[in-house]
Structure 1
């Protein structure tokens, strides 16, 4: 069920192309709060507008998604031109028509009709959205060291937030020019390109946006229940399968945390255990800090994954993130509070980078994997 509460817009705090963050005052209680509004659904709001707010997450005291969301404005909604024929958020009052890269009329329709392969492109696959800025900052740091400018594309699935505009990290990375484009797949929307599903989204990233390196994860937010399969991060394993079946090179980031109130997430998260032992049926490259013993996971995995140890210090990660203007937090924790998490992500990103450089030089994937294993083992 939804908890609806009436409010009034007091101030527009932030104007973005796909999002407004606003200050609202609730009519009944008089309390103030911040709310998120997506102009593509109802038009832009202004100070003084009366709105109905979805207060469900706030009343549940949720961390992720714990904002008010504007669900209706007490005036006629402002229509926008219809673009495209593919509906996202289908069969809800907020279904929106968007032009996807695959549909007839798209300049990429013929390409998507004919191409079937990612042609060996390394695809870094994360579980949490907070991994994105760490990975991209690592890639841009390494690019600066080598004096090259790779094209980096983010494919956002619909396992978390659906509007990509919610992500301050995506906004910042695009403004910096560190991301060369985004693809919103499934019911996620608002990217540089829209895709019907993850498979075609990956193909669009490589063949339409010309990505050298691709990062895949859900948007902000993740759902978990403490059960073996009851979490949206199972999609990480499904993404491994998708990349493999399309002829790409999947690189999976293990979720490693030193600090967490939940024992199931300390050390190697039970999410990663499930993903790599039973959801991922195709082999992935799995980089991991050399001091983390994952031998039990090796034995339990159904697929013959490629385990690549690496050595990376928290100080090196600090250097890689230094140019990124936002503070990165995952589950509320910074690099100083949980260095293992940040090190695992940055090391995995560097492994994907080394694979891309080797493949660009004509080395076969298995030879590159063997080289990385011997170099870091």
Structure 2
């Protein structure tokens, strides 16, 4: 069920064509923050009386913090001409028609017609949306250091937030000019290019957007239930299979944490172990930072031998250097680099490894084969 409450918009705190964050006064008199998506209903403004979905805040969930504007109490939502014929959020009151890259009439359709292979192109796959700014900060740092200008594309799946506009990181990275383009997959919407599924999204990114560096993860938010497969991050394993099916090179960022109150996430998260042992059906490259705590090396022994564990030397000091170019402090699960350096070292190791792979590409093919890599980790 949904918890509905009325509120009145007091002022707009943040605004773009796709996103508004507003301050509202609730019926009981307290003030709160709310998110509104103009693409669905039209712009809201001070004085509007609105219906608010307050469920996540009421349940004190991780996706809480903001209410969501679902409509006006006394005025009609705005209508606009559909841009395409593919419905996202299908069969809900908010279903929206978009033009996907695969659709007839879309300018990107010709780029993927007849395409069924990524031709060994490396793709970086992460579980958490909070990995995005760290990954791109590493690539930006390397770009400036080496005088390169790669096209960076982010593919957002629908395992977390569905509106791309919800991501403050994407809005910031686009404004900085560090992120070339975005692709939204499945029921996620609002990217520069829309895609029906991840397979098409990968081809659209590579051939439609001519991406050099590609990162795939869900949007903000992740679901977990403390059961073996009951977490939305299982899609990271499925993404490995999609990349491999298209003859690409899947590079899997493991979720390795030095700090977490939940035993299942201490060291190598059970999400990573489940994905690599049960969900992933094909060999993947798994970059890990060096040095690693002994406990983590022991956990790694349960990862099947057909995966390629790639050691990447990286220190906390180097991570701080990479991330300090980002205009705000990056954190994940409420922790910054100083509070969980192992987690951020792991993310940066993945970004560095993809950068290396990209530098070895010739005409879209890698000169370094994954099968030739030998792990120097203790198994």
- For Structure 1 versus Structure 2, the TM-score category normalised by the shorter chain is over 0.9
The correspondence of residues 224-263 of structure 1 with structure 2, limited to 5 A, is 224-263=224-263
**Could you say which residue in structure 2 is the equivalent of 1:99?**
99
Task: Give me the whole-angstrom Cα distance separating, in 2, the residues matched to 1:271 and 1:123.
Answer: 20
Contact 1:195 1:201 in 2 (8 A): yes
By how many angstroms is 1:67 displaced?
1.5
* Alpha-carbon distance in 2 for matches of 1:333, 1:200: 34
Structure 2 equivalent of residue 49 of structure 1 = 48
Q: Select between 307-316 and 60-69 the one with higher mean Cα deviation.
A: 60-69
Deviations 1:126-178 (A, max 9, x none): 00000000001101111112111111100000000000101010011111111
Question: How many angstroms does 1:17 deviate by?
Answer: 2.0
Question: Which deviates further from its counterpart, 144-153 or 181-190?
Answer: 144-153
Matches of 1:122 and 1:213, distance apart in 2: 8
Does the residue aligned with 1:260 lie in a helix, a strand or coil?
coil
Aligned partners of 1:4 and 1:54 also within 8 Å: yes
After superposition, the C-alpha distances for 1:200-240 in whole angstroms (9 at most, x for unaligned) are: 00100000110011000000000000111000000000000
Tell me whether 1:342 sits opposite 2:361 in the alignment. no
- Tell whether 2:321 aligns with 1:319: yes
Q: CA deviation at 1:45?
A: 0.4
Q: Distance between the aligned counterparts of 1:355 and 1:112, measured in 2?
A: 23
- Report the 3-state secondary structure (helix = DSSP H, G, I; strand = E; otherwise coil) of the residue aligned with 1:336: helix
| Stretches of structure 1 lacking an aligned partner (at least 5 in a row) | none
Change (3 A) 1:143 1:373: farther
Partner of residue 364 from structure 1, selected from 338, 345, 367:
367
Q: Distance in 1 between matches of 2:297 and 2:60?
A: 38
Larger deviation: 112-121 or 353-362?
A: 353-362
TM-score by length of 2: 0.95
Aligned residues: 374
Match status 1:59 vs 2:49: no
Corresponding residue of 2:193: 193
1:363 is displaced (CA, Å) by 5.2
TM-score with structure 1 setting the length: 0.95
Q: Within 5 A, what are the aligned runs for 1:86-235? A: 86-235=86-235
CA RMSD of aligned residues (A): 1.9
Aligned pairs for 1:239-318 (under 5 A) are 239-292=239-292, 300-302=302-304, 304-318=306-320
Distance 1:302 1:347, change over 3 A: closer
- Give 1:299 deviation, angstroms: 5.1
- In the alignment, is residue 20 of structure 1 matched against residue 20 of structure 2? yes
